[in-house]
Structure 1
Amino acid sequence: MTSEHTEPSGAQKMLGDFAPALVGYTDDVLFGQVWEGRELSPRDRSLVTVASLVTSGSTEQLRYHLTLARENGASEQELIAVLTHLAFYAGWPRAMSAMTVAKQLFRAS
Protein backbone atom coordinates (compact mmCIF):
# COMPACT_ATOMS: atom_id res chain seq x y z
CA MET A 1 0.00 0.00 0.00
CA THR A 2 1.10 3.53 -0.65
CA SER A 3 1.73 6.06 2.06
CA GLU A 4 -1.39 7.97 0.96
CA HIS A 5 -4.39 7.63 3.23
CA THR A 6 -6.68 5.06 1.64
CA GLU A 7 -9.63 3.13 2.95
CA PRO A 8 -8.60 -0.42 3.99
CA SER A 9 -9.79 -3.13 1.60
CA GLY A 10 -12.43 -5.65 2.60
CA ALA A 11 -9.72 -8.26 3.00
CA GLN A 12 -7.70 -5.87 5.17
CA LYS A 13 -10.71 -5.20 7.38
CA MET A 14 -11.52 -8.91 7.73
CA LEU A 15 -8.08 -10.49 8.04
CA GLY A 16 -5.39 -7.80 8.04
CA ASP A 17 -4.22 -8.37 11.59
CA PHE A 18 -4.59 -12.15 11.33
CA ALA A 19 -3.29 -13.10 7.86
CA PRO A 20 -1.45 -10.12 6.36
CA ALA A 21 0.25 -12.17 3.62
CA LEU A 22 -3.09 -13.47 2.33
CA VAL A 23 -4.46 -9.92 2.41
CA GLY A 24 -1.46 -8.72 0.41
CA TYR A 25 -1.96 -11.40 -2.24
CA THR A 26 -5.67 -10.63 -2.37
CA ASP A 27 -5.22 -6.89 -2.75
CA ASP A 28 -2.05 -6.77 -4.85
CA VAL A 29 -2.17 -9.89 -7.00
CA LEU A 30 -5.82 -10.94 -7.28
CA PHE A 31 -7.51 -7.54 -7.38
CA GLY A 32 -4.43 -5.61 -8.45
CA GLN A 33 -3.03 -7.71 -11.29
CA VAL A 34 -5.53 -10.42 -12.21
CA TRP A 35 -8.69 -8.30 -12.09
CA GLU A 36 -6.95 -5.47 -13.94
CA GLY A 37 -5.89 -7.67 -16.87
CA ARG A 38 -7.07 -6.53 -20.30
CA GLU A 39 -7.92 -9.95 -21.74
CA LEU A 40 -11.38 -10.05 -20.16
CA SER A 41 -13.82 -7.28 -19.44
CA PRO A 42 -14.75 -6.67 -15.79
CA ARG A 43 -18.26 -7.99 -16.59
CA ASP A 44 -16.85 -11.23 -18.02
CA ARG A 45 -14.49 -11.64 -15.06
CA SER A 46 -17.43 -11.21 -12.73
CA LEU A 47 -19.52 -13.83 -14.55
CA VAL A 48 -16.62 -16.30 -14.50
CA THR A 49 -16.03 -15.62 -10.82
CA VAL A 50 -19.70 -16.05 -9.89
CA ALA A 51 -19.78 -19.34 -11.81
CA SER A 52 -16.63 -20.54 -10.09
CA LEU A 53 -17.96 -19.67 -6.64
CA VAL A 54 -21.22 -21.49 -7.34
CA THR A 55 -19.53 -24.61 -8.69
CA SER A 56 -17.23 -24.78 -5.68
CA GLY A 57 -20.05 -24.11 -3.21
CA SER A 58 -18.32 -20.96 -1.92
CA THR A 59 -21.40 -18.97 -1.00
CA GLU A 60 -19.50 -16.95 1.64
CA GLN A 61 -17.87 -14.92 -1.14
CA LEU A 62 -20.91 -14.89 -3.43
CA ARG A 63 -22.67 -11.85 -1.96
CA TYR A 64 -19.65 -9.64 -2.64
CA HIS A 65 -19.16 -10.98 -6.17
CA LEU A 66 -22.83 -10.74 -7.14
CA THR A 67 -22.72 -7.09 -6.07
CA LEU A 68 -19.50 -6.56 -8.02
CA ALA A 69 -21.02 -8.29 -11.07
CA ARG A 70 -23.90 -5.81 -11.02
CA GLU A 71 -21.44 -2.92 -10.70
CA ASN A 72 -19.57 -4.40 -13.67
CA GLY A 73 -22.65 -4.38 -15.88
CA ALA A 74 -24.41 -7.72 -15.34
CA SER A 75 -28.12 -7.33 -14.72
CA GLU A 76 -30.06 -9.05 -11.97
CA GLN A 77 -31.90 -11.10 -14.60
CA GLU A 78 -28.63 -12.19 -16.23
CA LEU A 79 -27.22 -13.28 -12.89
CA ILE A 80 -30.39 -15.23 -12.07
CA ALA A 81 -30.07 -16.91 -15.49
CA VAL A 82 -26.42 -17.77 -14.77
CA LEU A 83 -27.35 -19.37 -11.45
CA THR A 84 -30.22 -21.29 -13.06
CA HIS A 85 -27.93 -22.50 -15.85
CA LEU A 86 -25.37 -23.66 -13.29
CA ALA A 87 -27.93 -25.92 -11.61
CA PHE A 88 -27.36 -28.37 -14.46
CA TYR A 89 -23.56 -28.21 -14.26
CA ALA A 90 -22.75 -27.50 -10.61
CA GLY A 91 -25.63 -29.36 -9.03
CA TRP A 92 -29.06 -28.42 -7.81
CA PRO A 93 -28.15 -27.88 -4.13
CA ARG A 94 -25.33 -25.47 -5.01
CA ALA A 95 -27.54 -23.53 -7.40
CA MET A 96 -30.34 -23.35 -4.84
CA SER A 97 -27.91 -22.10 -2.17
CA ALA A 98 -26.52 -19.51 -4.57
CA MET A 99 -30.01 -18.41 -5.62
CA THR A 100 -30.94 -17.95 -1.97
CA VAL A 101 -27.96 -15.63 -1.53
CA ALA A 102 -28.93 -13.76 -4.71
CA LYS A 103 -32.55 -13.37 -3.62
CA GLN A 104 -31.51 -11.99 -0.23
CA LEU A 105 -29.13 -9.55 -1.91
CA PHE A 106 -31.36 -8.46 -4.78
CA ARG A 107 -34.54 -8.10 -2.74
CA ALA A 108 -32.73 -6.16 -0.02
CA SER A 109 -31.67 -3.46 -2.50
Structure 2
Amino acid sequence: MAEEPTPAQKLIGDLAPKLVELTDEVLFGDIWARPGLSPRDRSLVTVTALAALGRTEQLGSHLRLALTNGLAKEELVEAITHLAFYAGWPSAMSAVTRLKDIVEAE
Protein backbone atom coordinates (compact mmCIF):
# COMPACT_ATOMS: atom_id res chain seq x y z
CA MET A 1 0.00 0.00 0.00
CA ALA A 2 1.35 3.43 -0.95
CA GLU A 3 2.06 5.90 1.83
CA GLU A 4 -0.26 8.91 1.85
CA PRO A 5 1.44 12.15 0.77
CA THR A 6 2.40 14.56 3.53
CA PRO A 7 0.74 17.97 3.71
CA ALA A 8 3.86 19.55 2.20
CA GLN A 9 3.86 17.02 -0.64
CA LYS A 10 0.23 17.80 -1.38
CA LEU A 11 0.81 21.55 -1.23
CA ILE A 12 4.06 22.03 -3.16
CA GLY A 13 5.51 18.59 -3.98
CA ASP A 14 5.33 19.04 -7.72
CA LEU A 15 6.89 22.51 -7.60
CA ALA A 16 9.52 22.36 -4.82
CA PRO A 17 10.50 18.78 -4.00
CA LYS A 18 13.64 19.78 -2.05
CA LEU A 19 11.65 22.14 0.16
CA VAL A 20 9.20 19.29 0.78
CA GLU A 21 12.08 16.97 1.68
CA LEU A 22 13.50 19.52 4.15
CA THR A 23 10.06 20.15 5.62
CA ASP A 24 9.25 16.48 6.06
CA GLU A 25 12.65 15.14 7.08
CA VAL A 26 14.34 18.02 8.91
CA LEU A 27 11.57 20.20 10.30
CA PHE A 28 8.94 17.58 11.16
CA GLY A 29 11.19 14.51 11.15
CA ASP A 30 13.92 15.96 13.38
CA ILE A 31 13.13 19.33 14.96
CA TRP A 32 9.53 18.53 15.91
CA ALA A 33 10.63 15.11 17.22
CA ARG A 34 13.32 16.38 19.60
CA PRO A 35 12.69 15.45 23.24
CA GLY A 36 13.24 18.92 24.77
CA LEU A 37 9.65 20.07 24.17
CA SER A 38 6.42 18.15 23.80
CA PRO A 39 4.48 18.41 20.51
CA ARG A 40 1.89 20.44 22.47
CA ASP A 41 4.51 22.97 23.58
CA ARG A 42 6.07 23.11 20.12
CA SER A 43 2.63 23.87 18.70
CA LEU A 44 2.13 26.70 21.20
CA VAL A 45 5.51 28.21 20.32
CA THR A 46 4.86 27.85 16.59
CA VAL A 47 1.35 29.32 16.70
CA THR A 48 2.48 32.35 18.70
CA ALA A 49 5.47 32.94 16.43
CA LEU A 50 3.34 32.72 13.29
CA ALA A 51 0.69 34.99 14.81
CA ALA A 52 3.29 37.53 15.95
CA LEU A 53 4.90 37.58 12.52
CA GLY A 54 1.56 37.83 10.71
CA ARG A 55 2.14 34.58 8.83
CA THR A 56 -1.56 33.83 8.51
CA GLU A 57 -1.20 31.51 5.51
CA GLN A 58 0.74 29.01 7.62
CA LEU A 59 -1.18 29.78 10.81
CA GLY A 60 -4.31 27.78 9.92
CA SER A 61 -2.57 24.44 9.56
CA HIS A 62 -0.60 25.02 12.76
CA LEU A 63 -3.72 25.98 14.71
CA ARG A 64 -5.30 22.70 13.61
CA LEU A 65 -2.13 20.84 14.58
CA ALA A 66 -2.11 22.61 17.96
CA LEU A 67 -5.64 21.37 18.65
CA THR A 68 -4.60 17.86 17.59
CA ASN A 69 -1.53 18.12 19.84
CA GLY A 70 -3.70 18.76 22.89
CA LEU A 71 -4.05 22.51 23.16
CA ALA A 72 -7.57 23.59 24.00
CA LYS A 73 -9.33 26.31 22.04
CA GLU A 74 -9.44 28.36 25.25
CA GLU A 75 -5.68 28.05 25.72
CA LEU A 76 -5.04 29.22 22.18
CA VAL A 77 -7.40 32.18 22.66
CA GLU A 78 -5.58 33.09 25.89
CA ALA A 79 -2.16 32.86 24.23
CA ILE A 80 -3.31 35.02 21.33
CA THR A 81 -4.89 37.56 23.70
CA HIS A 82 -1.63 37.75 25.67
CA LEU A 83 0.28 38.11 22.42
CA ALA A 84 -1.79 41.15 21.41
CA PHE A 85 0.17 43.28 23.87
CA TYR A 86 3.54 42.16 22.49
CA ALA A 87 2.92 41.54 18.80
CA GLY A 88 0.15 44.04 18.14
CA TRP A 89 -3.60 44.08 17.94
CA PRO A 90 -3.87 43.36 14.19
CA SER A 91 -1.77 40.21 14.54
CA ALA A 92 -3.89 38.97 17.43
CA MET A 93 -7.16 39.79 15.71
CA SER A 94 -6.07 37.98 12.55
CA ALA A 95 -4.96 34.93 14.54
CA VAL A 96 -8.10 34.68 16.67
CA THR A 97 -10.30 35.14 13.59
CA ARG A 98 -8.45 32.28 11.92
CA LEU A 99 -8.93 30.12 15.03
CA LYS A 100 -12.65 30.97 15.12
CA ASP A 101 -13.04 29.86 11.50
CA ILE A 102 -11.26 26.56 12.23
CA VAL A 103 -13.27 25.81 15.38
CA GLU A 104 -16.57 26.63 13.69
CA ALA A 105 -15.70 24.39 10.72
CA GLU A 106 -15.19 21.33 12.95
Give the TM-score normalised by structure 1.
0.94
Q: Please report how far the alpha carbon of residue 14 of structure 1 lies from its aligned counterpart in structure 2 after TM superposition.
A: 1.0
Q: Please report how far the alpha carbon of residue 85 of structure 1 lies from its aligned counterpart in structure 2 after TM superposition.
A: 0.7
- Percent identity of equivalent pairs: 57
For 2:49, which of 52, 64, 72 is the aligned residue?
A: 52
Q: Please report how far the alpha carbon of residue 63 of structure 1 lies from its aligned counterpart in structure 2 after TM superposition.
A: 1.1
Residues 54-93 of structure 1: matches in 2 within 5 Å? 54-93=51-90
Give the TM-score normalised by structure 2.
0.96
Q: What are structure 2's unaligned runs of at least 5 residues?
A: none
In structure 2, how many angstroms separate the alpha carbons of the residues matched to 1:16 and 1:30?
16
Q: Please report how far the alpha carbon of residue 100 of structure 1 lies from its aligned counterpart in structure 2 after TM superposition.
A: 0.8
Query: Which residue in 2 is equivalent to 1:103?
Result: 100
In structure 2, how many angstroms separate the alpha carbons of the residues matched to 1:5 and 1:108?
29
Count of paired positions: 106
1:19-55, Cα deviation, whole Å (9 max, x unpaired): 1110000000000000000000111000000011011
In structure 2, how many angstroms separate the alpha carbons of the residues matched to 1:56 and 1:24?
24
Q: What are structure 1's unaligned runs of at least 5 residues?
A: none
In structure 2, how many angstroms separate the alpha carbons of the residues matched to 1:54 and 1:89?
11
In structure 1, how many angstroms separate the alpha carbons of the residues matched to 2:81 and 2:103?
15
Q: Please report how far the alpha carbon of residue 15 of structure 1 lies from its aligned counterpart in structure 2 after TM superposition.
A: 0.7
1:60-90, Cα deviation, whole Å (9 max, x unpaired): 1111111111111110000010111110011
2:39 is the alignment partner of 1:42: yes
2:59 alignment partner AA: L
In structure 2, how many angstroms separate the alpha carbons of the residues matched to 1:84 and 1:28?
33
> 4+ runs of 1 displaced by more than 6 Å?
none
Calculate the aligned-residue CA RMSD, in Å.
0.9
2:10 is the alignment partner of 1:9: no
